[in-house]
Amino acid sequence: MTRFSANLGFLWADLPLPQAIRAAHAAGYDAVECHWPYDTPAAEVRAALADTGLEMLGLNTLRGAPGENGLAAIPGREAEARAEIDRAIDYARAIGCGAVHVMSGIASGPGAEAALRGNLAHAAAQAPELTFLIEPLNHHDAPGYFLNTSDQAARLIEAFAIPNLRMMFDCYHLQIMEGDITRRLRRHLPMIGHVQFASVPDRGAPDRGELDYRHVCAVLADLGWDRPVGAEYRPGVQGPGLGWAAALAP
């Protein structure tokens, strides 16, 4: 049976983060994840996690200035990127979170790849106990973003040879960019550190749209995936609860 993580960047986003954690627990989620928790004291988040027994699966590095979407692949901004990586590491350690998504930013070319490699090597050296994630984003929601496809991310993970580097496999983004989701899951499984989903194309709850998540969840089960899948969707009128989950059961 598939387990689910509530992405609190989208779900219960109107609540303070500790309250959102408690709301996710009350709704029946198995874990939580977030985007940028840094305005909330880590002690408050850790207390909410302890109270609910939920694990915080991951958080993001900050994106930079308004209009930016990360810093790690931008040549010449390594000092800023590494400062944000260090901030994310410190916060993750303080709340017992096991993964940090390092946001690449809007960039292209060999210089961007070299910057990303150096910044990820810095991250791995600073926190070998954490998993660092890179995520391909689609060009409609994140135009110009350095990472676009699962094949590109897989090539970089192989080339960088950083032992605690994995791919964030977001089915929503990758269905828009590539499709062929279940074959890509099978091909890239050893490199995948986290899976997320939402309906395509509206990024709503995953019980509708052009991608059959009942099939995707069955394939994940067949592959032996036993970690929660991240529900990173816009709740809309359906709300942030798990009312959609029954439609995904085998």
68 is catalytic: no
Total H helices, total E strands in the chain? 8, 8
Of 33, 55, 84, 232, which one is the catalytic site residue?
A: 232
Residue of 89, 173, 172 lying closest to 131 (CA atoms): 89
> Exactly one of 55, 84, 113, 135 is catalytic; which is it?
135
* 133 beta partners: 101, 166
Looking only at the bridges linking them, the beta strands covering 192-197 and 165-170 are parallel
232 assigned to active site: yes
Quote the crossing angle between the two packed helices 78-95 and 42-52, to the nearest 10°. Answer: 40
- Burial, 16: exposed, middle or buried (Cβ in 10 Å; 0-12, 13-18, 19+)? middle
The residue among 158, 167, 164, 75 whose CA lies nearest residue 123 is: 164
CA 196: distance to chain centroid?
A: 7
Active site residues: 135, 232
